[in-house]
A and B are shown apart, each in its own frame.
Chain A
Amino acid sequence: MGDIRQSLLPRDVLSAAKELLYHLDIYICNLVQSGRQPPQVDSKTLELVEEFILHAPKDRGAPVRKMSALQELQLLEIMCSCFQEQSRDTVRQLMFSALFSLQGNQADESRMVLLGKLVSMAVAMGRVPILECAASWLQRTHRVYCVRLAQVLVDDYCSMVPGSVPTLQNIHSMSPRFCCQFITAVTTLYDLSSEELTPPLELLQMIVSWIQDDPRLVLITFLNTPLSGSQPISSLDVTPLGGLVRWCVKAPLAYKRDKKQALTDGSSDGEPDPRPLFSALHLSVLQVFMLLPNILNEKGLFGLLPLLQMESVAALTSDLSRLLDQADKHTHTSQADAQASSQLALDRLAQALQVAMASGALLCSREDLRAICSRLPHNNLLQLVLSGPVMYYNNIHTPPLAYSPHAAHSPIASHATLPAHAPHTSLGPHPAPHAQYPAQPFMTGMPFPFRPSH
């Protein structure tokens, strides 16, 4: 490859880059044909990519070759057609890796920039092979960079050019895998912690319509991934479920805040109401959860793979309790409104937790849940979920195991070990740890104040 560098150096930037892409193609084809496992692109080649395609400074002080905007556009077009024409999936994937796998060096910055432009262009031009490669990239790469890529697309299609959302909408049919990873990245990016991190409405509408059309979309990556163990650390979640739950739960509080600001600005720009969107999204998320038991059972993963991680649930509940505290402290709007939003958030949390647990997406006991929810204010449904269904020993209403995979430790098993306490009367937020929760009564007729006051 050394002689290649020599031949590339005298060329102008564009033709050098073209030449290198051409050589890379041949090189990788040979690599795949040689059958070496695993096929690995050598570091020399990677360096050439950095020098002639990404134009990262090779040595300190060496002159930086730069491409004009037009040349860059031409290069992107060449790359597009290069991926489009390559019929072999392995070759394409290796090529994409050679170009865009992060190396932890200075070149990564320009790598990300180029990748963003390439993927954005692929979306615009409907280049499915590139989107497929990008989907894989989004599975392997640290979530920080994934989020950056998603940001580029959101900026390009939702913020920069009005009316270009439909183009992005198409990725659903072009590459469901990419679409799924995109949703995961976007839900990771927008955590509703601030106004900037609240998803634009167009994006929200788009995601809701995707999932409503096809709830299984959010499980595509999971369904196509052989096993969970190979997942690189700090990569994106295998599904966007956690992020979507967070959206739905926090939305009543986050969007209320926005609205308030809009009201004070006096700019009511007639934007559609996001509330029904989140309601629909929340329902879709629950429906996706309900799909899981069968899928997990088929994969033999039931009870083994937490698609909704306990840590993210814990983070969500603490976020929520902080938001609720804030809402309590400076209530600008009426008390009733604030109360309704808080209860909606808590209802959704309780529903998500219950359904996730029942469907085997959340692996924990009700006791664990009580611990992480202990700081949350009172909500009838949440209490019902935390205490679990009432069981009778002589009741025909015996929950079948199919619906409650954790029957072994919930609720009977978990409660059986707890000492019975005096009935707890406080309906406010529970600062007390879960151990202070009264035990679940199993007998009829026993007063049980924290059950919903019907």
Chain B
Amino acid sequence: MSAQKDCEFLVKRARELVSEDPCAAKAWLITARTLYPTDFSIQYEMYNIERNAEKTASAGRLLYDMFINFPDQPIVWREISVITAALRSDSQDKHAQFLRGLFETLPGRVQCEMLLKATEQCFNTLEKAEMLLLLLKRFPESVVQHGVNLGETLLEAEASESVETPVNCFRKLFVCDVLPLVINNMDMRLPTSLMQKYILKAAEFYIGYVTRGPSPDGQLQGTQDSGTLKSPGISRGSQRYVIDGLSEKSSVVAEPWERLLDIVTVVGARCEWQGDKGQRSYVDMLLRVKELCRYLPGLEGETRSHCCSQVVICAALVLFRSAFLYVSAVQPALFQGVSSMNSGPWILVEDLSSVYRDLEMDRGALKHAHKKRKLADGREKTMSSDDEEGLGKGRGRHVLVNKMEMPSWSETLESFRTARESWDLLHSHDGLEVEFKKICAVWKTDSWLWFRIFLTDMIIYQGQYRKALSSLHQMAAVQQPQPGQQSPSGQAGLEHHRALIQQASCHYALGEYRMACEKLLDVVSGLLPPTQEPIKSTDDQGRMKTKTRKGNDLRLLPCTSKAVLPFCLQLMLACFKLRAFADNRDDLSLGHVVVLLQHDWPQGEMLFLKAVDKICQQGSFQYENFFNYVTNIDMLEEFAYLRTPEGGRIQLELLPNQGMLIKHHTVTRGITKGVKEDFRLAMERQVSRCGENLLNVLHRFCINEKIIIIQSLP
């Protein structure tokens, strides 16, 4: 016989009674407790009855008693861990809500102690952190004691668990939950260096989150809305994203750029950043540090480095945000949560809408390009001269875009501009550049494909084509279409073409026409022959505007077969144009030009007439592919006319092997008549081909004559 036996007896009686007469059971337990006030089983049974009946207030009171009187009982701890788990979870089930309500009935001091002790008993870093976070959120005064430690624990955990991405559960908790509590607690003294470290951790997380790639299964599930660029981080439709270790709900980060701006604002205020009166927007931020930069050379020591940090952090954030906004418009498929349904990829290329213009204006550019090409022997020296020139050229270039096809064109171009400005700012002083490179090294921005896309476009804009080409080569290696990724629309193939087209455009800009043509003929051979006559109007708008521009504008070209083939044709035309109209005779080039001028007819009418002039001057013209690829009725008429006495009896050798034929005919009589007859027949046949799909003809031209075309360029 023992106290324990007594207690067992009392508890047993209560248990027997509880279902039929809970009041009697409670009466037994009250009595039992007065007999054995220090017996745990009695109080636990009391608690159990109230808990099972979900009586929040009385269960809370009893839990409190147990917590105070039996702090070492494992059962109490099990119970507390169940309750704290309910607090951490977002479950809406009735029992979880009851447990949360139960916790709320406890006095604050006890809640605080409970959470702390529960935290101590937790061995899983993540759970421990979540638990401590509950504490910090409820009891702001505890932030002073635990806030920074918790943050450091999370960052250490991230390091020790060697997670691959900054978008991981530890960082999420740190950046989204702990950091705001810490930096907003004014009772804490935080060294500037620590806050700078934290803001960079936060920025790395948010940028990583926003620019995360699409999940393999969610890639094509984007919703119909075209989506504004302002909130790219909000997940749309059925796209799901889960950070490893977190629930789907807590993996969602709403308004990441806004949150980051909030942190910058608070940290800026706490670090006493110059001229900082609360960041209203990223644009404001850039303006402010631009201003600040002007004073930078006059500063020294501590003040200077302080100022440098502010400029670098702010400018870097603006850079990455704007670059992201630009790339998310240009290459939406790279990101999750950015709608890619309505706008495919876009390619930044040389604007060729002036290709049909007279050559006089281009001559200068040609000489320039030749000079450049001579210098560009791949040596470091030439690169830098290229850069210098490029920088000069980069000023005030226009980027044209079809506004109908890209509704958000102005935001996109604005983002591109802002990003470039931020980049320039970051490279305007050695001190800034060093700091910025440190950040890039830590974040491994080299491995960010999306950022490389921006950088490539930026250096193209700056006219540093040589550099852009090497960047494109690297990217092409990374971007090889993967077998599994081939989507039914051929999108992946097109994206692969994107790099080739850009390379072709760069080679062209460098005057390397043969390389340019090689690349773009590769592209064209990958395109399916067009099935429909193109709608003429698509490009008109842009062309009208560019009439007066110099030849160094850029264009954002939609990466679709519809847009790519015409561009390739224009680029080829541009490559051959100078050669064809050069002083020395080059009938092959001139013939290619004539073929290519059919596209977009009568845009090239003026050039065609110029070609005709040249042929007249030469008195003869030989192009054996003529009847294979020229179906334009105006051109056919013109050539037919050239042979007439009125036209000047120009000797035209336009039939395959006609030269041979002429020789053959000289032996017999009536040769001219026979040739004449052949030409007439060919013309007649050709006129009947006028209705043929021109793009189809030109596509065939590109495929069949690929070798000749390339060989005809030096």
Query: Known: A355-B30, A392-B3, A454-B8. Contact between A276 and B38, CB under 8 A?
Result: no
Q: Is the CB of A397 within 8 A of B38?
A: yes
Q: Is the CB of A283 within 8 A of B27?
A: yes
Determine the distance from Cα of A446 to Cα of B5 in the docked complex, in whole angstroms: 13
Q: Which of B16-32 contact A (CB under 8 A)?
A: 21, 23-24, 26-28, 30-31
Q: Is the CB of A454 within 8 A of B34?
A: no
Look across to chain B and name the residue whose beta carbon is closest to the beta carbon of A401.
Answer: B37
Query: Known: A286-B31, A354-B31, A380-B9. Contact between A390 and B26, CB under 8 A?
Result: no
Chain A positions within 8 Å of B2 at CB level: 390, 392, 444
Q: Is the CB of A451 within 8 A of B28?
A: no
Chain A positions within 8 Å of B37 at CB level: 399-400, 402-404
Q: Is the CB of B3 within 8 A of A287?
A: no
Q: Is the CB of B38 within 8 A of A351?
A: no
Query: Known: A280-B23, A283-B27, A384-B6. Contact between A355 and B38, CB under 8 A?
Result: no
Q: Is the CB of A348 within 8 A of B27?
A: yes
Q: Is the CB of B31 within 8 A of A389?
A: no
A34–chain B nearest beta-carbon distance, Å = 52
Chain B positions within 8 Å of A399 at CB level: 36-38
Determine the distance from Cα of A175 to Cα of B34 in the docked complex, in whole angstroms: 33
Q: Which of A434-454 contact B (CB under 8 A)?
A: 441, 444, 446-448, 451-452, 454
Q: Is the CB of B27 within 8 A of A351?
A: yes
Which residue of the partner chain, among B1, B24, B33, B38, contacts A390 with CB atoms under 8 Å? Answer: B1
Determine the distance from Cα of A403 to Cα of B9 in the docked complex, in whole angstroms: 20
Which residue of the partner chain, among B13, B35, B39, contacts A385 with CB atoms under 8 Å? Answer: B35
Which residue of the partner chain, among A276, A351, A357, contacts B30 with CB atoms under 8 Å? Answer: A351
Chain A positions within 8 Å of B36 at CB level: 389, 397, 399
Look across to chain B and name the residue whose beta carbon is closest to the beta carbon of A281.
Answer: B23
Query: Known: A276-B21, A389-B6, A454-B5. Contact between A290 and B35, CB under 8 A?
Result: no
Determine the distance from Cα of A396 to Cα of B38 in the docked complex, in whole angstroms: 8
B7–chain A nearest beta-carbon distance, Å = 9
Q: Is the CB of A286 within 8 A of B27?
A: yes
Which residue of the partner chain, among B5, B10, B23, B31, contacts A276 with CB atoms under 8 Å? Answer: B23
A203 at the interface (CB under 8 A from B): no
Over the window 104-134 of chain A, the binary record of Cβ atoms lying under 8 Å from chain B Cβ atoms (1 yes, 0 no) is: 0000000000000000000000000000000
A250 at the interface (CB under 8 A from B): no
Chain B positions within 8 Å of A103 at CB level: none
Which residue of the partner chain, among B3, B13, B26, contacts A283 with CB atoms under 8 Å? Answer: B26
B65–chain A nearest beta-carbon distance, Å = 12
B12 at the interface (CB under 8 A from A): yes
Q: Is the CB of A354 within 8 A of B35?
A: yes
Which residue of the partner chain, among A283, A357, A400, A454, contacts B9 with CB atoms under 8 Å? Answer: A454
Q: Which of B27-68 contact A (CB under 8 A)?
A: 27-28, 30-31, 33-39
A395 at the interface (CB under 8 A from B): yes
Interface of B is mostly: helix
B210–chain A nearest beta-carbon distance, Å = 57
Determine the distance from Cα of A41 to Cα of B23 in the docked complex, in whole angstroms: 51
Q: Is the CB of A403 within 8 A of B21?
A: no
Chain A positions within 8 Å of B33 at CB level: 403
Determine the distance from Cα of A452 to Cα of B12 in the docked complex, in whole angstroms: 12
Determine the distance from Cα of A404 to Cα of B31 in the docked complex, in whole angstroms: 12
Q: Is the CB of B31 within 8 A of A400?
A: no
Q: Is the CB of B34 within 8 A of A359?
A: yes
Which residue of the partner chain, among A381, A403, A446, contacts B34 with CB atoms under 8 Å? Answer: A403
Determine the distance from Cα of A381 to Cα of B13 in the docked complex, in whole angstroms: 10
Query: Known: A400-B37, A403-B34. Contact between A390 and B27, CB under 8 A?
Result: no
Determine the distance from Cα of A404 to Cα of B35 in the docked complex, in whole angstroms: 8
Which residue of the partner chain, among A290, A391, A403, A446, contacts B1 with CB atoms under 8 Å? Answer: A446
Determine the distance from Cα of A351 to Cα of B14 in the docked complex, in whole angstroms: 13
Over the window 345-357 of chain A, the binary record of Cβ atoms lying under 8 Å from chain B Cβ atoms (1 yes, 0 no) is: 0011011001101
Chain B positions within 8 Å of A388 at CB level: 35
Q: Is the CB of A448 within 8 A of B1?
A: yes
Which residue of the partner chain, among B1, B24, B38, contacts A447 with CB atoms under 8 Å? Answer: B1
A417 at the interface (CB under 8 A from B): no
B485–chain A nearest beta-carbon distance, Å = 68
Chain B positions within 8 Å of A396 at CB level: 38
Size of interface on B: residues with Cβ below 8 Å to A: 25
Q: Is the CB of B31 within 8 A of A381?
A: yes
Q: Is the CB of B6 within 8 A of A452?
A: yes
Q: Is the CB of B3 within 8 A of A397?
A: yes
Chain B positions within 8 Å of A451 at CB level: 1, 5-6
Determine the distance from Cα of A390 to Cα of B32 in the docked complex, in whole angstroms: 12
Chain A positions within 8 Å of B21 at CB level: 276, 279
A358 at the interface (CB under 8 A from B): yes
B59–chain A nearest beta-carbon distance, Å = 15
Query: Known: A396-B38, A399-B36. Contact between A390 and B6, CB under 8 A?
Result: yes
Over the window 148-188 of chain A, the binary record of Cβ atoms lying under 8 Å from chain B Cβ atoms (1 yes, 0 no) is: 00000000000000000000000000000000000000000
Chain B positions within 8 Å of A358 at CB level: 34-35
Determine the distance from Cα of A287 to Cα of B29 in the docked complex, in whole angstroms: 11
B491–chain A nearest beta-carbon distance, Å = 71
A398 at the interface (CB under 8 A from B): yes
B18–chain A nearest beta-carbon distance, Å = 12
A405–chain B nearest beta-carbon distance, Å = 11
Determine the distance from Cα of A361 to Cα of B31 in the docked complex, in whole angstroms: 14
Determine the distance from Cα of A303 to Cα of B563 in the docked complex, in whole angstroms: 99
Determine the distance from Cα of A397 to Cα of B69 in the docked complex, in whole angstroms: 12
Q: Is the CB of B38 within 8 A of A282?
A: no
Over the window 203-229 of chain A, the binary record of Cβ atoms lying under 8 Å from chain B Cβ atoms (1 yes, 0 no) is: 000000000000000000000000000
Chain B positions within 8 Å of A357 at CB level: 34
Determine the distance from Cα of A390 to Cα of B28 in the docked complex, in whole angstroms: 17
Chain B positions within 8 Å of A282 at CB level: 23-24, 27
Look across to chain B and name the residue whose beta carbon is closest to the beta carbon of A398.
Answer: B38
Look across to chain B and name the residue whose beta carbon is closest to the beta carbon of A402.
Answer: B37
Query: Known: A280-B23, A397-B36. Contact between A290 and B30, CB under 8 A?
Result: yes
Q: Is the CB of B30 within 8 A of A286?
A: yes
Chain A positions within 8 Å of B8 at CB level: 454
Determine the distance from Cα of A347 to Cα of B9 in the docked complex, in whole angstroms: 13
Determine the distance from Cα of A395 to Cα of B7 in the docked complex, in whole angstroms: 14
Q: Which of A247-301 contact B (CB under 8 A)?
A: 276, 279-280, 282-283, 286-287, 290
Look across to chain B and name the residue whose beta carbon is closest to the beta carbon of A285.
Answer: B27
Determine the distance from Cα of A444 to Cα of B5 in the docked complex, in whole angstroms: 11
Determine the distance from Cα of A396 to Cα of B37 in the docked complex, in whole angstroms: 12
B4–chain A nearest beta-carbon distance, Å = 8
Chain A positions within 8 Å of B23 at CB level: 276, 279-280, 282-283
Determine the distance from Cα of A447 to Cα of B2 in the docked complex, in whole angstroms: 10
Which residue of the partner chain, among B9, B24, B34, contacts A355 with CB atoms under 8 Å? Answer: B34
Chain B positions within 8 Å of A351 at CB level: 27-28, 30-31
Determine the distance from Cα of A86 to Cα of B23 in the docked complex, in whole angstroms: 45
Look across to chain B and name the residue whose beta carbon is closest to the beta carbon of A282.
Answer: B27
Determine the distance from Cα of A355 to Cα of B10 in the docked complex, in whole angstroms: 14
Look across to chain A and name the residue whose beta carbon is closest to the beta carbon of B38.
Answer: A397
Q: Is the CB of B34 within 8 A of A279?
A: no
Determine the distance from Cα of A358 to Cα of B8 in the docked complex, in whole angstroms: 20
Over the window 651-685 of chain B, the binary record of Cβ atoms lying under 8 Å from chain A Cβ atoms (1 yes, 0 no) is: 00000000000000000000000000000000000
Chain B positions within 8 Å of A350 at CB level: 31
Look across to chain A and name the residue whose beta carbon is closest to the beta carbon of B34.
Answer: A358
Q: Which of A394-423 contact B (CB under 8 A)?
A: 395-400, 402-404
Determine the distance from Cα of A398 to Cα of B35 in the docked complex, in whole angstroms: 11
Chain B positions within 8 Å of A354 at CB level: 31, 34-35
Known: A381-B13, A396-B38. 11 other contacts (CB 8 A): A287-B30, A348-B27, A351-B28, A351-B31, A355-B34, A357-B34, A358-B34, A384-B9, A398-B38, A404-B34, A444-B1
Q: List 6 A-B contacts (CB under 8 A).
A: A279-B27, A290-B30, A348-B27, A381-B13, A390-B6, A403-B34
Q: Interface residues, chain B, CB within 8 Å of chain A?
A: 1-3, 5-6, 8-10, 12-13, 21, 23-24, 26-28, 30-31, 33-39
Closest 10 interchain pairs by CB? Answer: A358-B34, A403-B37, A283-B23, A351-B31, A390-B3, A279-B23, A454-B9, A448-B1, A389-B35, A280-B23
